[in-house]
A and B are shown apart, each in its own frame.
Chain A
């Protein structure tokens, strides 16, 4: 408990959610508490797409926080999620990233489970020749894999360890509309990209909530007009402020002298950056609403992006206080024609770990972590757009969504 004793000396800055002290990004005891209070707490965490487990017996091995979790398409045709830990001695049951199985079987002592996680058979449970075996009062029903609650929305699969998490759509509130806008028909997976970021998971989680940085840091956006501050844009949060999405409509520039003055100083518009072959930026307004970029983030570990015609989910996996993995799943729709698929694949060059737009994000997270050092001193400052949870309204020039993150984080962490 020594670490806890040290931690409790730390107090949150008096200003509240407009500040985040740097020790929350570095402290091992805080990290352990996050696993319990957030990732195993009252949150829905993204597991994957229904399209990843299309057939009965398909499974995917993934994580919620640091817990390994298996998502299955079970005998009943429904999606289930179980902790990937044998109820007997704790061995990992599934070790393939994706697989096909009739049952989930632990290699250590051959305890077998059905695809919902119920124990169906334990090797030698009756012993042999009257010797050994499990006690008379052993009930298979009491020794299944730990089952998680599962909910799906438009082909996305979420799970929670808690019985108290509100139903998924209630929990998402107004932000569900941003999911429904994009995921309006059956999906087809195009591939994966995992990015290992040597920074605390929260440094990344804040990033896609931060609409202020998007048109400043990312030169590629501004220069090619996919997303500029002068364009029509907006931001929507759910009532509790856990989730957010913001959007920009390319080609809707509204001239203003304020913008011209500021933009001239921004490195995000670089006239020297001219593409010989701009074909990768050609996009079609497939949703018919003019939105060129929509970035949607749900608490604590999920992002859905539409960047032109590039569509992907991002799953954030904490790996200790100083590291996280960001798993990108690129997809299109089942009925995409060849041209559309090629367009999505070409635009995969824009995002992800080698993305011409987005490589900066991982670099900034790591630079932040480096500058925080041991986290003993200092705090961030987040008053863009105002000091309250509502100030800033729907303007992208605001840190409202980040203030709301810290508000919810502090409640969950009792900090």
Chain B
């Protein structure tokens, strides 16, 4: 990498990515919406579609409000077998940075994820998704986290979704 990236940027990005995963794994799913910028976007798309330049994504929230709506529907409208997730994250890497006129940094970040789903009723465990996160993270000292996602794109590896994906990843 040609440009120098301060190590605190790396720590900030890594922490934000872990925070998102922990909110979900600890069943505080609602909290992830506040990790998105007001104009932030959260997308879950198959590598199969992405590789073929096909635009359709199984989840595409264009704002924290749309993400909150999806989580509310998950909580009170949708029916599914009780389950919870564990995220395993690796390979967090900053692949690009930029700075706007006000000095605000934006980081382009890549990471790998793996999600194990555990079913409450029988305790069955299964890897339900692996893939790459392509994130755009805005460093903003005015927020508690110090950083938020401008874009969170989960590109999942298999074209298959096991049963359904209702809890966000």
A residues neighboring B (CB under 8 Å): 97-98, 189-198, 217, 219-220, 223, 270, 272-273, 275-277, 280, 325, 330, 341, 345-346, 348-349, 352-356, 359-360, 362-364, 366-367
A352 to chain B: which residues have CB within 8 Å? 58
Do A276 and B161 have beta carbons less than 8 Å apart? no
Task: Report whether A330 and B78 are in contact in the complex, using a CB–CB cutoff of 8 Å.
Answer: no
The CA-CA distance from A97 to B59 in the complex, in Å, is 23
Q: Are A273 and B73 in contact (CB under 8 A)?
A: yes
| Alpha-carbon distance between A189 and B55 when the two chains are bound, in angstroms | 9
CB-based contact A196/B162 at 8 Å? yes
- Contact in complex: B76, A273 (CB < 8 Å): yes
Tell whether, in the assembled complex, residue B78 and residue A356 are in contact, meaning their CB atoms are under 8 Å apart. Answer: yes
In the complex, chain B residues whose CB is within 8 Å of the CB of A354: 44, 58-59, 161, 164-166
CA distance A356 to B65 in the complex (A): 15
Neighbour of B46 across the interface among A189, A192, A270, CB < 8 A: A192
- In the bound complex, how far is the Cα of B160 from the Cα of A352, in angstroms? 11
In angstroms, Cα B62 to Cα A348, docked, is 13
- Is there a chain A Cβ closer than 8 Å to B141's Cβ? no
8 interchain pairs (CB within 8 A)?
A196-B160, A219-B76, A345-B57, A346-B62, A359-B79, A360-B79, A362-B163, A363-B79
Q: Nearest chain A CB to B131's CB is how many angstroms away?
A: 14
- Tell me if A275 and B69 are in contact (CB < 8 A): yes
Given contacts A354-B59, A367-B81, contact A195 B69 (CB under 8 A): no
Q: How far is the CA of A194 from the CA of B163 in the complex (A)?
A: 9
Known A345-B56, A363-B79; further 11 A-B contacts with Cβ < 8 A: A196-B163, A219-B78, A223-B77, A273-B77, A280-B66, A345-B55, A348-B56, A353-B161, A354-B164, A360-B80, A363-B163
Closest to A360 in B: B79
Which B139-169 residues have C-beta < 8 A from chain A? 159-166
Q: Is the CB of B55 within 8 A of A276?
A: no
User: A353 vs B44: C-alpha distance in the bound complex, in angstroms?
Assistant: 11
Residue of A nearest to B52 (CB): A98
Cross-chain contact A196 with B161 (CB below 8 angstroms)? yes
B residues near A (Cβ < 8 Å) are: 44, 46, 48-49, 52, 54-63, 65-66, 68-70, 72-73, 76-81, 159-166
Interchain nearest-CB distance for B37 vs A (Å): 15
Q: What residues on A are CB-neighbors of B162 within 8 Å?
A: 196
Which chain B residues lie closer than 8 Å to A275 at the CB level? 69, 72
Most buried by B among A190, A192, A330, A367: A192
Which chain A residues lie closer than 8 Å to B166 at the CB level? 354, 359
Chain A hits for B54, CB < 8 A: 189-192
Minimum Cβ distance to chain B for residue A88 (Å) = 30
A355 CA / B54 CA spacing, docked (Å) = 18
**Inter-chain contact B164/A353, CB cutoff 8 Å:** yes
CB closest chain-B residue, reference A191: B56
Please, how many angstroms separate the alpha-carbon atoms of A409 and B32 in the complex?
48
- Bound-state Cα–Cα, A408 to B60, Å: 40
Q: Which residue of A189, A280, A356, A362 is within 8 Å of B77 (Cβ)? A: A356
Given the known A-B contacts A356-B78, A362-B164, A363-B80, are A193 and B58 also in contact in the complex, defined by CB atoms under 8 Å? Answer: yes
Whether the pair B79, A270 counts as a contact (CB closer than 8 A) is: no
Contact B63 A194, beta carbon cutoff 8 Å: no
Bound together, the chains give a CA A197 to CA B58 distance in angstroms of 16
A217 touches B160 (CB 8 A): no
Complex partner residue of A277 from B59, B66, B77, B161, CB under 8 angstroms = B66
- Cα distance A280–B110 in the bound complex, in angstroms: 29
Complex Cα distance, B63 from A277, in Å, reads: 9
Bound form: Cα–Cα A195–B161 in Å: 5
Complex: how many Å from CA A341 to CA B60? 14
Contact across chains for B81 and A270 when beta carbons are under 8 A apart:
no
Pick the contact of B57: A189, A191, A362 (CB < 8 A): A191
Q: How far is the CA of A100 from the CA of B79 in the complex (A)?
A: 42
Partner of A353 from the list B49, B52, B58, B60 (CB cut-off 8 Å) is: B58
Find chain A residues with CB under 8 A from B44 CB: 354
Residues of B within 8 A of A270 (CB): 76-77
Q: Which of B49, B70, B77 has a CB less than 8 Å from the CB of A191?
A: B49
| Contact assessment for A276 and B69 in the assembled complex, using a CB-CB cutoff below 8 Å | yes
Please, which residues of chain A bring their CB within 8 A of the CB of B57? 191, 345, 348
Known contacts A98-B52, A277-B65, A280-B66; decide if A348 and B77 are in contact (CB<8 Å).
no
B123, chain A: closest CB distance, angstroms: 14
Q: In the complex, which residues of chain A have a beta carbon less than 8 angstroms from the beta carbon of B52?
A: 98
Q: Is the CB of B163 within 8 A of A198?
A: yes
A280 — nearest CB in chain B belongs to which residue? Answer: B66
Nearest chain A residue, comparing its CB with the CB of B64: A276
| Complexed CA–CA distance, A352 and B65 (Å) | 21
Please measure, in the bound complex, the distance between the C-alpha atom of A199 and the C-alpha atom of B78, giving whole angstroms: 19
Q: How far is the CB of B46 from chain A (nearest CB, A)?
A: 7
B58 and A97 within 8 A (CB):
no
Are A366 and B163 neighbours in the complex by a CB distance under 8 Å?
yes
Contacts of B73 in A (CB 8 A): 220, 273, 356
Q: Contact check, A194 vs B159: say whether CB atoms are below 8 A apart.
A: yes
Chain B residues in 8 Å Cβ range of A345: 55-57, 60
Find out whether the CB atom of B165 lies under 8 angstroms from the CB atom of A192: no
